[in-house]
Structure 1
Amino acid sequence: MIELIEPDTDLYNAFRACRADWGPGEHEDGFGIDERDDVDSPEGFATWVRRMRSQLHPRTQPCPDRPHWTPHWIVEDGEILGAIALRHQADDLFGRIGYGIRPSARRRGVATWALTQTLAEAREVLGLDRVLMPCAADNIPSARTIERCGGILEGIVATELGPQRRYWIDLS
């Protein structure tokens, strides 16, 4: 059974397998990894997970002194299939939700399932009535996922990240 969980240090080996599936130089969207993070050593991984967990936004009340996002790992039978993050503040470049699915778990509906769950959280927890979901203009699988979840294309725009499709999803 697929589930969304908070980042967990017990899944170090599962994370390494997930990361290896992407291969060197690939970008794992949804995980929140940046250049300061050492996710390859057990100690660095534990530090990164603690930082991720410290940034979790309480679901019931505002938290003005911490970043406003909720990261989740997409897990099935102890295997990390990917990650998805809900941003609690509007972001015109990245939108409200970012996700990535490891190559071996694609084309199984994992992204659609995770996005559906996260859209429900955006509506129920944050009270949003619509969300912005951009993706790279050439990322047709992501565009299809967004469209399956109700995304309506606003247009394709030039951004600092390259051309992006901008979708809006109505949550009402």
Structure 2
Amino acid sequence: MPELIAPTVRLHVSWLEARAEWGPGQHEDGFGLSPSDEVDSAAGFAAWVHRLTDQSDAAKATDAMRCIYRWIVESDRVLGGIALRYGSSDYVSWAGNIGYGIRPSARRRGLASWAVGQLLDEARALGLDRVLAVCAVDNAASVKTIERCGGVFEGIRDTEFGPARRYWIKI
């Protein structure tokens, strides 16, 4: 059975294996990885996990970018990541409240839908009454996931990464 856990240095090797499946330079939204993060070394990985933990801590995070990160894990194997952004930043308004990614070998199992459902419970606990989910226009798997989770299509907007579909999910 999969579980959602907070990022941990304990799964460094497993996380690197998941990243290797996506390929070099790939960014999966649910992990909060930025181009400046160095995650190959133990020290760099620990610093990155510490940053994610601080962004999840309301007392340490800025109002503009609060985010809860969870990893989708099964038997100590990192299958994916999911993020719930709930700050007031411009990033949230164009990227959405929820972002996720599932490693290629774990796709088509319903993990993304399951993880979104789990994070909706956390969004409710934060007092959110709806969340924005955004995906690339040509990402049929994410469209299915978002709609399966109750997403109502708002429209398409141009972004710096190309056109994106926007959905609202009521909680």
Structure 1 unmatched runs, 5+: none
Moved over 3 A (4+): 62-67
Q: Which residue of 1 aligns with 2:121?
A: 120
CA deviations over 1:83-126 (Å, ceiling 9, x no partner): 00111125210111111111111000000000000111111x21
Structure 2 unmatched runs, 5+: none
What's the TM-score, normalizing by structure 1? 0.91
Q: Which residue of 1 aligns with 2:42?
A: 42
Q: Which residue of 2 aligns with 1:77?
A: 75
In terms of fraction of residues, the more helix-rich structure is: 2
- Distance, in Å, in 2 between the alignment partners of 1:131 and 1:48 is 26
Count of residue pairs the alignment pairs up:
167
Cα distance, 1:142 vs structure 2? 0.4
Q: Percentage identity across aligned positions? A: 55
1:64–1:85 distance in 2 versus 1, CA, 3 Å: closer
Structure 2 SS opposite 1:44: helix
Deviates more, 1:142-151 or 1:35-44: 35-44
Check the 8 A contact 2:15/2:78 in 1, yes or no: yes
Taking only aligned residues, the RMSD between alpha carbons, in angstroms, comes to 1.5
- Distance, in Å, in 2 between the alignment partners of 1:64 and 1:80 is 25
Q: Which residue of 1 aligns with 2:133?
A: 133
- Distance, in Å, in 2 between the alignment partners of 1:161 and 1:147 is 22
- Distance, in Å, in 2 between the alignment partners of 1:68 and 1:169 is 19
Cα distance, 1:161 vs structure 2? 2.2
Deviates more, 1:156-165 or 1:134-143: 156-165
Structure 2 SS opposite 1:82: strand
Check the 8 A contact 2:54/2:60 in 1, yes or no: no
1:156-167 matches, within 5 Å, as 156-167=156-167
What's the TM-score, normalizing by structure 2? 0.91
- Distance, in Å, in 1 between the alignment partners of 2:43 and 2:77 is 21
CA deviations over 1:5-43 (Å, ceiling 9, x no partner): 111011011111111111123222211111221101122
1:1-12 matches, within 5 Å, as 1-12=1-12
- Distance, in Å, in 2 between the alignment partners of 1:4 and 1:158 is 32
Deviates more, 1:37-46 or 1:73-82: 37-46
- Distance, in Å, in 2 between the alignment partners of 1:99 and 1:165 is 15
- Distance, in Å, in 1 between the alignment partners of 2:47 and 2:61 is 23
